[in-house]
């Protein structure tokens, strides 16, 4: 116990650095996947059959394979198969590869939630707007959108909480996120070696993170409670 | 000149022909009720008038202007349809109010969006919006909803929701207001409060096309009744004739189903 207390400041410092990377990946995935998911959703609902079929096929593949494999493919494929390692060898390249894999993967999940949300709005809402002389975009932004948001907040919350924990998968390509930071004390780092507790201690970070995210999303859900 | 002139409207869904040549015309201030059994094409007819469906044949003219002619592609440009819809208003069986807006906002939303297309919108925005709000309040008051303007749809009864929907349609001052079974989703008491409002509109010379199963109301309120069956108008004329003394066997049989429930 004394030892742990003694190691604590060093470990926390390292874990904080790792957590920052985790947080960055989380934010980047959100910023990229929210809008990209909408684009994919519209693609899969397109009346142009080849486009909707292709989109649905891609979504099926992405959702049907582990994100870990997608990470590995995106990171190693250019270097090993195309003989052109576009990611370089640094942390920046690993982050970019991770962000791209996460954004694409999560956009596919989001797109299905968006699609379900959009299709669950009764057709009468759109028709009421049309009869009142609204344009397509006015109907989408003024009538449909908020109703869709209200319906997708609960399933999106689940995905977002999963994302918090999924960021750990980037460890597989050695992104220096919090798991990587915790693990580094096993082999030895900052003068500490053979310590397993820092790895377990990362769970506290995840718990705090999901706690905050749950709170914020719960607020949002409440804010939209004023209509049905 | 007729305010509405509908000629020989045809509409098929796939292989089923739902409207097989519907024609009728309407003078300003007249009320036509459309009656007929389920599946006879009443809703489809109203949807054609409101450009929610495109007829396969026939023409629609309002105040002498041909809004749609199946034989003239120039009348079917997608870009013009939105403006043409404004000649008509439509009140749905299921109200279709926008749930995230209050009663007042439901009534003003479309008007405020249309105001953006006015050339002097930027300079007169405040004035335009104040005018739209004022008119909407007056309409809601006329519907007996003065104390409900700031309620959201889910806080209103079905009858109140339908009256908001009527105010919403009236706010854009359509030439012709269409109703598709406006009271079918309501229990008898609420039905009466909505019918009273429509009756009031008829007294104020609002031109209306009303699809309804309320025979007593149709008889009382309309200047004209169309009985549809199987996609054609079987009988039409003043209510005393079509409902009071039908000349066609099919009309008689349909009306009997109401007197003997
Ligand atoms: N979008 C559509 N696709 C295929 N068939 C349709 C469509 N809309 C309506 N129909 C068919 O057209 C026929 C007429 O329907 P419509 O809704 O106009 O009847 P209605 O007279 O309004 O009946 P009700 O009194 O039940 O409302 C029905 O047989 C219906 O199944
Ligand atoms: Mg109908």
Q: What is the rounded average pLDDT of the residues A117-146? A: 96
Give B94-141 pLDDT, tens digit per residue.
999 999 999 999 999 999 999 999 888 999 999 999 999 999 999 999
Residue B261 has pLDDT above 70, yes or no: no
Predicted local confidence at residue A132, as pLDDT: 97
What was the pLDDT predicted at A1?
72
Counting every residue, how long is chain A?
A: 228
The stretches of chain A forming alpha helices (DSSP H) are 2-44, 49-64, 67-80, 91-119, 123-131, 136-138, 145-166, 178-187, 197-223
ipTM of this predicted structure: 0.94
How confident is residue A12, by pLDDT bands cut at 50, 70 and 90?
Answer: very high
Which domain does A103 fall in, by range?
2-227
Q: How far is CA B188 from the centre of its chain?
A: 21
The protein residue with its alpha carbon nearest to ligand 1, atom 7, reads B13
- B78 by Cβ neighbours in 10 Å (0-12 / 13-18 / 19+) ranks as exposed
Beta bridge partner(s), residue B57? B10
DSSP string, A57-78: HHHHHHHHS-HHHHHHHHHHHH
Contacts of A125 in chain B (CB under 8 A): 96, 98
Asked if the model's pLDDT at residue A2 lies above 90, the reply is no
- Which residues on A lie below 8 Å from B89 (Cβ)? 131
Span B42-65, average pLDDT: 97
Of the candidates A53, A87, A54, the residue with the CA atom closest to the CA atom of residue A71: A87
> B108 to chain A: nearest residue by CA?
A132
Interface residue ranges in chain B relative to chain A, Cβ cutoff 8 Å: 50-52, 82-83, 85-86, 88-90, 92, 94, 96-100, 109-110, 113-114, 152-154, 168-169, 172
Per-residue pLDDT band at B36 (split at 50, 70, 90) = very high
Q: Which of B171, B186, B174, B249 is nearest to B217 (CA)?
A: B186
pLDDT digits (tens, 9 = 90+) for B138-192: 999 999 999 999 999 999 999 999 999 999 999 999 999 999 999 999 999 999 9
- Which atom of ligand 1 lies at the shortest distance from residue B181's CA? 27
* Closest C-alpha to ligand 1, atom 10: B13
Query: pLDDT at residue A6 above 60?
Result: yes
Determine if ligand 1 sits within 6 Å of the CB of residue B40: yes
- Residue B49: other Cβ atoms inside 10 A: 24
Average pLDDT in the A161-169 region?
Answer: 96
Q: Let me know: does B88 contact B102? Beta carbons within 8 Å.
A: no
| A129 vs B118: CA distance, rounded Å | 19
* Cross-strand bridge partners of residue B32: B209, B224
pLDDT band at B260 (very low <50, low <70, confident <90, very high): low
Q: What is the pLDDT of residue A73?
A: 95
**pLDDT at residue A120 above 80?**
yes
Rounded CA separation A169/A65 (Å) = 14
Q: Does A146 touch chain B (CB under 8 A)?
A: yes
Give the Cβ contact number of residue B255 at 10 Å.
16
Supply the CATH number for residue A50's domain.
1.10.3720.10
pLDDT above 60 (res A105): yes
Contact at CB, B96 and A128, closer than 8 angstroms: yes
In this predicted structure, what is the pLDDT of residue A189?
86
Q: Is B46 buried (19+), middle (13-18) or exposed (0-12) by CB count in 10 A? A: buried
Number of domains making up chain A: 1
Q: What is the mean pLDDT of residues B47-76?
A: 95
From the CB of B212, is ligand 1 less than 6 Å away?
no
Give the closest residue to B33 by CA, choosing from B248, B199, B154, B250: B199
What local confidence, expressed as pLDDT, does residue B66 receive? Answer: 95
Query: What does the pLDDT look like over A50-66, one tens digit per residue?
Result: 999 999 999 999 999 99
pLDDT confidence of residue A116: 96
pLDDT in tens, B212-248: 999 999 999 999 999 999 999 999 999 999 999 999 9
Closest ligand (CA of B44): 1
């Amino acid at each position: 116990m004394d030892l742990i207390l003694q190691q604590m400041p060093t470990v926390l410092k390292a874990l904080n650095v790792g957590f920052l990377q985790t947080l960055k990946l989380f934010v980047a995935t959100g910023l990229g996947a929210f809008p990209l998911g909408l684009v994919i959703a519209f693609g899969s609902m397109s009346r142009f059959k080849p486009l909707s079929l292709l989109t649905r096929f891609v979504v099926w593949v992405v959702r049907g394979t582990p994100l870990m494999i997608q990470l590995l493919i995106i990171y190693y494929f250019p270097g090993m198969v195309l003989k052109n390692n576009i990611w370089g060898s640094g942390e920046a390249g690993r982050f970019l590869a991770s962000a791209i894999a996460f954004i694409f993967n999560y956009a596919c999940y989001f797109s299905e939630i968006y699609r379900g949300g959009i299709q669950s709005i009764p057709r009468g809402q759109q028709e009421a707007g049309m009869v009142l002389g609204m344009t397509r975009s006015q109907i989408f932004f003024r009538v449909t959108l908020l109703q869709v948001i209200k319906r997708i907040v609960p399933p999106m919350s689940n995905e977002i909480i999963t994302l918090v924990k999924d960021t750990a998968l980037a460890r597989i390509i050695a992104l220096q996120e919090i798991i990587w930071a915790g693990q580094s004390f096993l082999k030895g780092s900052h003068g500490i070696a053979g310590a397993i507790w820092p790895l377990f201690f990362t769970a506290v970070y995840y718990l705090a993170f999901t706690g905050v995210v749950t709170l914020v999303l719960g607020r949002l859900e409440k804010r939209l409670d004023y209509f049905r | 000149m007729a305010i509405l002139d509908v000629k020989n409207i045809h509409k098929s869904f796939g292989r089923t022909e739902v409207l097989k040549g519907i024609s009728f015309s309407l003078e300003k201030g007249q009320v036509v009720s459309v009656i007929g059994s389920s599946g006879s094409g009443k809703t489809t007819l109203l949807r054609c008038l409101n450009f929610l469906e495109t007829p396969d044949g026939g023409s629609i003219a309002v105040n002498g202007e041909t809004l749609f002619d199946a034989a003239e592609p120039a009348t079917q440009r997608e870009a013009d349809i939105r403006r043409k819809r404004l000649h008509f208003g439509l009140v749905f069986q299921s109200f279709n109010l926008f749930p995230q807006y209050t009663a007042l906002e439901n009534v003003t939303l479309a008007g405020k969006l249309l105001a953006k297309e006015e050339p002097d919108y930027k300079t007169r925005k405040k004035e335009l919006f104040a005018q739209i709000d004022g008119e909407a309040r007056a309409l809601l008051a006329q519907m007996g909803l003065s104390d409900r303007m700031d309620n959201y749809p889910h806080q209103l009864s079905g009858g109140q929701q339908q009256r908001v929907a009527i105010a919403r349609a009236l706010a854009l001052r359509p030439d012709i207001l269409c109703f598709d079974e406006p009271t079918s989703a309501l229990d008898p008491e609420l039905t009466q409060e909505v019918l009273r409002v429509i009756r009031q509109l008829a007294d104020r010379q609002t031109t209306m096309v009303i699809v309804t199963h309320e025979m007593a109301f149709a008889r009382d309120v309309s200047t004209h009744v169309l009985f549809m069956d199987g996609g054609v108008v079987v009988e039409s004329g003043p209510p005393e004739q079509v409902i009071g003394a039908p000349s066609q066997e099919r009309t008689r049989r349909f009306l009997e189903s109401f007197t003997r429930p």
